[in-house]
Amino acid sequence: MKQTPAYTVLFADEALVVLNKKSGLLTAADRYDAEAPRVDTAAEAEFGRLFAVHRLDRDTSGAVIYARTAQAHQLLCAQFENRQVTKIYHALINGRPAWKQFRADSPLLPDGDARHRTVVSKRHGKPSQTDFTCLGSCGMFSWIEARPLTGRTHQIRAHLAEQHLSIVCDPLYGGSIKPVRLSDIKRSWKGDPFEERPLLSRLALHAYRIEFAHPLTEEALAVTAPYPKDMDAVRKQLAKLFGPDPLAVIQA
């Protein structure tokens, strides 16, 4: 079976690289699993030593920044700490939210329960904000855009869970690993159920766009990460059957 590359390059110069990370890879070393596959170690064969600036969850795909020098690392980290970076995620969720736009601002406590989930905690949580927009509903699913204004672990997933919403294929916060199959969404489907392969069988969360200042030139950079093949296949099928296309909505 052909292996999907660990990453594609979205931007690169002497100071930094922005990679479109494959789902299932860590962005940096993990204290619980030192041997887990990582995108930074894969990319260092091409770029030399890389310094992690921020993290994406293992199962989240999309844009991730790495510094190539200690100076660039320090300056980029300062932008994240000062909330000068715009992070835009796209997700396919189960059901339909009651809102078109919504700001979640409940304080979050990482590693707050026995399953190591991030939970809402008015008493012990850290200030957390996420802006959500519903880009369109497609049958039993909806496409949403999430803009986390803070950087808590699992922030988007935890804020959605508070609204009784879950991302497709999220067993940790949604309780289901049911994949998206064409037979589930297309009534006229006449294939072989024993031969059918899922359109998507991993967390449907993608770091779609990141906007920041170049650490050396201070030039404004906006880098967009195309959907990976599995998420794009679902997008095309849902748009064909139900109409709303998240990419068409944001480009309109």
Catalytic residue among 13, 30, 57, 170: 57
Say which residue the tokens 């069988």 belong to.
201
DSSP, collapsed to helix, strand or coil, labels residue 52 as strand
Maximum distance among all alpha carbons in the chain? 58
52: phi then psi, degrees, rounded to nearest 5 = -70, 130
For 143, 145, 156, 208, the CA distances from 247, given in Å and listed in that order, are: 10, 11, 20, 10
Asked whether 180 and 199 are in contact (CB, 8 A), the reply is yes
Q: Which long-range contacts (CB under 8 A, 24 or more apart) does 73-81 make?
A: 75/215, 75/216, 76/16, 76/212, 76/215, 77/53, 79/212, 79/213, 79/215, 80/53, 80/54, 80/151
Is 111 catalytic? The answer is: no
Q: Reduced to 3 states, what is the DSSP secondary structure of residue 85?
A: coil
- Cα distance between residue 14 and residue 37, in whole Å: 25
Give the count of beta carbons closer than 10 Å to the beta carbon of residue 40. Answer: 23
Annotated catalytic residues are 57
